[in-house]
Amino acid sequence: MALDVRVIGPEERDTRTAQTPGLQRFAAICADKTGSSQLWMGYAVLEPGGRTGVHHHGESETAIFVISGVTRWWVGEELDDVREARAGDFVFIPPGIVHWEQNASDTEPVEMVVARSTQEAIVVAVEGHPHRPAHAS
């Protein structure tokens, strides 16, 4: 694929990327779509009342911009330390940090732009975490 400036519209976003139950990810900037060799970027939606399973993003640094809604990331040894982000906030998740996400609203979705430092949207489920929330069983 010849490299050139590309515009990726909503209809071109790709759902064939790593997914987490409760959160939809759509790839936009990636090797398949743009020829990108070092960057992955996409759009994510956490549905009203949505919650993800416990996971981490491997070697990826993850940067998130919250477009709309309020989301919570549960982190820490016991997954009991919460970080809340609102529309207009940026979030940074270092490589390997185990977490799960929750939409703070039961009526409004959370919309986010997600960027990764790796070409893949790495998502590693942590099935046996001792402090796994009941919703993730």
Q: Which of 8-22, 30-44, 61-75, 122-136 has the lowest mean pLDDT?
A: 8-22
- Give 24-128's CATH code, choosing from 3.30.70.20, 3.10.50.40, 2.60.120.10, 3.40.50.300: 2.60.120.10
**C-alpha–C-alpha distance, residues 46 and 25, integer Å:** 9
Q: Kindly give, in sequence order, each residue whose CB lies less than 8 Å from that of residue 97, ignoring residues fewer than 6 positions away.
A: 56, 57, 75
Length of the chain: 137
pLDDT at 17: 64
pLDDT at 1: 58
Q: Are 26 and 44 in contact (CB under 8 A)?
A: yes
pLDDT at 2: 64
Model pTM?
0.85
User: Rounded mean pLDDT of 30-35?
Assistant: 82
pLDDT at 136: 61
pLDDT of 64-77, one tens digit each? Answer: 999 999 999 999 98
**C-alpha–C-alpha distance, residues 71 and 84, integer Å:** 6
pLDDT at 84: 97
The helix or strand, by DSSP H or E, that contains position 90, with its residue range, turns out to be strand 90-93
pLDDT at 11: 78
pLDDT at 21: 67
Which single residue is written with the structure tokens 């970080």?
83
**C-alpha–C-alpha distance, residues 37 and 87, integer Å:** 29
pLDDT at 16: 64
Percent of the chain scoring above 70 in pLDDT: 91
Which single residue is written with the structure tokens 């609102």?
86
